[in-house]
Amino acid sequence: MDIQHIMRVVDASFAARQSIEKALREIDRRALNAMVLVKRHGNALAGYGVVAQAFRERAAILKTSASHLQESIAPLIEAYMRILQHQRFAQSFQEMLSDSPLHGQACPNLISTQNTWQKIIQQEEVEAVKILGHLLETVQQLQEGIEEQEYVVTNGRIEAALAERTGAPLMRVSRDMGEAVRTVAQAIRSYRHQLESLEHESSTRL
Amino acid sequence: MDMEILQDYLPEARELLEKAQDDTLRLESDPNNDEVLASVFRAFHTLKGGAGFLEADHLVSWTHHLEDLLDKLRSHTLVINGSMIDAILRGLDVIDDMLQQLACGENPGPGPEELGQLIQELAAGKRAEGVSVNGPIESDATPSPPPSESMLLVSQRPTVAGEAGLFLERTESASSSETAADEITDAEFEATLDALYGNKAPGVTNASDSEHLNSDEISPEEFEQVLDQMYGKQAPGYEQPALTTPVSAKSTESEQAAAEIAPPTQSVSTTTSPSPEVTNASKVTPPARSAAAAQEAAETTLRVDAARLDAVMNQVGELVLLRNRLSSAIGSLGEENEDMLRIAREVDITVNDIQSTVMRLRMQPCKRLFQQLPRVVRDASRQLGKEVTLEIVGEDVEIDKAVVDALSGPMTHLLRNSLDHGVESPADRQAAGKARSAKIRVAAIHLGDKVRIEVSDDGRGIDSQFVTRKAVDKGVITAEQAARLSEQEAVELIFRPGFSTNDQVTDISGRGVGMDVVKETVRKLRGRLDIETKPGLGTSISMEFPLTMAVLPVLYLRLRREIYALPVSSIESLLDIQENRIHRMSGRSVYRVDGTEVIPMVDLGRLLHDRPLRLGSEPIEGILTERGLIMVSEVLGNEDSVVKPIDFLAEQNWYQGATISGKGNVVLILDAGALANHVIDHGGDSTIINISCKGAA
């Protein structure tokens, strides 16, 4: 692991957060649009109203999940930055030992300190992996939420087809909803890929 | 005056009056319809009876004369003609005025003497020179020999109670050939009545005669007894229509058949000159209802005071607000409680059901709104010398009572306006290659949670340039504002207060008030007004109203820290504002919605906070309405709300009212139309959207 890799994760987190927030806002707007459309048509589109309501509620749940995602990113970055810092320390002690002519005999405290740093780093790496695992779980939940949202969109398409005779542009609304959900799904998938590569590297290191 | 009787009498009298007017107009195209004649007669008779109980002597007298005329028409002693129709319609207007006086707690004064005299002379067959308005109607008002079926035997003998009574017997012509000496005609019967009672016939109480009243005067009860003795179960006003008039079985059957095959469209011709086209107008046949059905309806129908319904509706409104607060409170609970959620859902469903049921209680068919229109068209077309066929569609469509009550005036304005400005004279129409008779169509269409009412004509349409010129001339708008108007906005100038294309005020138009009233009424009813016109082809004005006025679905929005509401009915969609779609046009900021639609932008920040929203530096979302794109900070969500009027604000403001949100806060409801109008009127000042750090698009 190096600083470049961590910076890539930071960038990916920022981009994912931006993209998810925007897409969730879009989902919320689509859902509200659908609810306005339903209200304008009275009871004729009551079935689609239920779908739109569910879509908006799911969007709110996704928003909450996304905020949990943000809560986990900062500790993860902090943990990796600390690991890097402590690796530097350990590295410097290692260099001191290597540079000493009495290597391995004259400075037992130095060796002990260096070993202590190595242990601390290992503990921190375990902790970081835990945070990463938690983050991946959150991402997993977000993806499950997206799948449920896709299911709601499918239901919406069925309702739209059933209510086609009313003349309301429900198919277009459903299509817009589907696109908004796909945007979120894509952003999350890309982010997950970044996190998994980090996890892979961390595991290799361990 | 017995107020309890008055309260029962007035609504029934108004219904009778409306039906009588409807029937009288039908007599114009179908003068030989005995059933309709009998119906009008019954209406006058019932009106007279009720007025007698209320001691409204002038109303009794007035209805008596009309009843007298109708009785002779009904028995074919006289033949109906145009003068009679006119007199009856004018007589109905007088009764309407009298009913209004009664409603104010006053005893009605006498009707117009001249008209009263005319009606009496017509009834006496003294006015034979009446002008026939329709082909089939004979102008000859000379009493015709009564048909053999109407031969009556009259005798005077003591009643069961031992009092002097008048007995009348109907005899079949076949079996009464030998009674020629004893038989009297209806005219002779009337003469006998006059001889018996003189000017003190039942119901006739002229002021000048009242001081001479003596023991010969009969009470209303006695009058009813006399009628019962004369007619038995065939008494006028008796509830079984099949027995009231001597309509042959054959004709009744044919009319029932006609009613069954008649399309749900009523066409009323109101041409002012005798024309064969009149006969082409589809015949209106009253729905054939059996006595049993009428009885059943009477048993299952309950007349309820509208104020009580309003009270129930208000209470349901409060219930809706409480429901919203409950849902909001449960939603904000920290942890999910399944029981509470289930209770909230059930309350939600129950309140919706109650709301829907109470809403239906207030619904009335558009027929109530439309039934005055044939008369309006008839009178105005005569006055203007135009030939018009009125087509009414969708009388059965139901709408909130408040809308029906409020639209009565605007509908009249629209029709008169259409007749005066839209419909050309017959000669002009012929010159333009159109039929002599214009067509005005009034339609009610059910659209989801709305009802659309359309008034369209096939007249000359509206010339937007002429309208703009007139608006500038009359000072309704400035020349600068006129230059910025689109064609549609120019046409919509006809709804501005003070606007009229007529330079002279006439009975029909010219004051510049009518169309403004239409627009204001639609606004107050939270409706939508649209106008579509094609030069040379006609104009269509449509009004859309919510099915119910009790509950208003709104969208909550945030403008910086403040929450507002906007009626869902005025929203087309919600948009994400894109900078590259903002343009400047004629000093206004406009937004390109798609390839074809460009609409003005309404910066709510500038209008309400006097501080424009800044795209890029603060969140902005767009709400697309029919008149403009309203810029807000955030759209929050929707809710069914109840509108509370805010009377303390100035007449012209941007709010429809206020409501209480689910969180218990008072939220102002914005009027999207007023906001957009302000932007259109005040041009560029209020619509510049500031784009932070990037300059104007």
- For residue B180, count CB atoms less than 10 angstroms from its CB and return exposed for 0-12, middle for 13-18, buried for 19 or more: exposed
pLDDT bucket at B145, cuts 50 / 70 / 90:
very low
pLDDT bucket at B332, cuts 50 / 70 / 90:
confident
B246: CB partners within 8 A, 6+ apart: B34, B149, B150
Q: Are residues B124 and B194 in the same domain?
A: yes
Q: Are residues B536 and B577 in the same domain?
A: no
Range of weakest confidence among A39-53, B128-142, B356-370: B128-142
Kindly indicate whether the ipTM for this predicted assembly is greater than 0.95, answering yes or no: no
Mean pLDDT on B457-476: 88
Which structure tokens are listed for B115? 């008209």
Q: Are residues B583 and B607 in the same domain?
A: yes
Is residue B50 in some structural domain? yes
The CATH number of whichever domain residue B593 belongs to comes to 2.30.30.40
Point out the residue among A32, A42, A56 whose CB comes nearest to the CB of B448.
A42
Cβ separation B555–A32 shorter than 8 A: yes
**Interface membership of B348 toward A (CB under 8 Å):** no
Q: Is residue B156 predicted with pLDDT exceeding 70? A: no
Is residue B276 in some structural domain? no
Interface test with A, best of B568, B569, B633 (most A CBs within 10 A): B568
pLDDT in tens, B74-108: 888 888 888 888 888 888 889 988 888 888 888 88
Is residue B541 in some structural domain? yes
**Interface membership of B635 toward A (CB under 8 Å):** yes
pLDDT bucket at B540, cuts 50 / 70 / 90:
very high
pLDDT in tens, B233-262: 554 444 443 333 333 334 444 444 444 433
Cβ separation A33–B573 shorter than 8 A: yes
- Percent of the residues in chain B that have a pLDDT greater than 90, as a whole number: 12
The CATH number of whichever domain residue B534 belongs to comes to 3.30.565.10
Q: What pLDDT does residue A41 have?
A: 76
Is residue B649 in some structural domain? yes
Cβ separation A29–B569 shorter than 8 A: no
Q: What's the structural domain count of chain B?
A: 4
Handedness of CA B635, B636, B637, B642 (dihedral sign): negative
Q: Are residues B520 and B616 in the same domain?
A: no
Cβ separation A33–B555 shorter than 8 A: no
Sort out which chain B residues have CB atoms less than 8 A from A56's CB and list them: 637
pLDDT bucket at B170, cuts 50 / 70 / 90:
low
Distance CA(A29)–CA(B690), nearest Å, equals 23
**pTM attached to this predicted model:** 0.61
Closest CA of chain A from B335, distance in Å: 14
Distance CA(B150)–CA(B77), nearest Å, equals 10
- What residue segments make up the domains of chain A, in order of their start? 3-78+134-205
| Strand B629-632, strand B598-603: pairing | parallel
Q: Are residues B435 and B580 in the same domain?
A: no
Residue range of the domain that includes B317: 305-362
Cβ separation A26–B449 shorter than 8 A: no
Cβ separation A166–B450 shorter than 8 A: no
Sort out which chain A residues have CB atoms less than 8 A from B555's CB and list them: 32, 36
Query: Considering only residues 34 to 93 of chain B, which have any Cβ-Cβ distance to chain A shorter than 8 Å?
Result: none
Is residue B299 in some structural domain? no
Average pLDDT score, chain B: 75
- Give the 3-state DSSP-derived string for B550-590, with helices as H, strands as E and coil as C: CCEEEEEEEECCEEEEEEHHHEEEEEECCHHHEEEECCEEE
Q: What pLDDT does residue B565 have?
A: 94
Closest CA of chain A from B671, distance in Å: 17
Q: Is residue B268 predicted with pLDDT exceeding 80? A: no
Distance CA(B254)–CA(B252), nearest Å, equals 5
pLDDT in tens, B567-605: 988 888 888 888 888 888 877 788 998 877 888 899 999
Interface test with B, best of A32, A170, A173, A183 (most B CBs within 10 A): A32
pLDDT bucket at B38, cuts 50 / 70 / 90:
confident
pLDDT bucket at B452, cuts 50 / 70 / 90:
very high
pLDDT bucket at B498, cuts 50 / 70 / 90:
confident
Cβ separation A40–B569 shorter than 8 A: yes
User: B286 phi and psi, to 5 degrees?
Assistant: -65, 145
Average pLDDT score, chain A: 83
Sort out which chain B residues have CB atoms less than 8 A from A39's CB and list them: 449, 553, 568, 638
Q: What pLDDT does residue B81 have?
A: 83
**Interface membership of B14 toward A (CB under 8 Å):** no
Is residue B297 in some structural domain? no
Sort out which chain A residues have CB atoms less than 8 A from B621's CB and list them: 29
Q: Are residues B72 and B182 in the same domain?
A: yes
pLDDT bucket at B287, cuts 50 / 70 / 90:
very low
pLDDT bucket at B264, cuts 50 / 70 / 90:
very low
- Percent of the residues in chain A that have a pLDDT greater than 90, as a whole number: 0
Closest CA of chain B from A152, distance in Å: 19
**Interface membership of B352 toward A (CB under 8 Å):** no
Is residue B260 in some structural domain? no
Say if domain A3-78+134-205 classifies as CATH 1.20.120.
yes
Distance CA(B47)–CA(B237), nearest Å, equals 10
Q: Are residues B415 and B535 in the same domain?
A: yes
Q: Are residues B465 and B516 in the same domain?
A: yes
The owner of tokens 């009744």 is B252
Q: What pLDDT does residue B16 have?
A: 85
pLDDT in tens, A10-51: 888 888 888 888 888 888 888 888 888 888 777 778 788 888
- For residue B114, count CB atoms less than 10 angstroms from its CB and return exposed for 0-12, middle for 13-18, buried for 19 or more: exposed
For residue B40, how far is the Cα from the chain centroid?
Answer: 21
Distance CA(A197)–CA(B236), nearest Å, equals 97
Sort out which chain B residues have CB atoms less than 8 A from A32's CB and list them: 555, 574, 635, 637-638
Q: Are residues B232 and B330 in the same domain?
A: no
Distance CA(A12)–CA(B490), nearest Å, equals 54
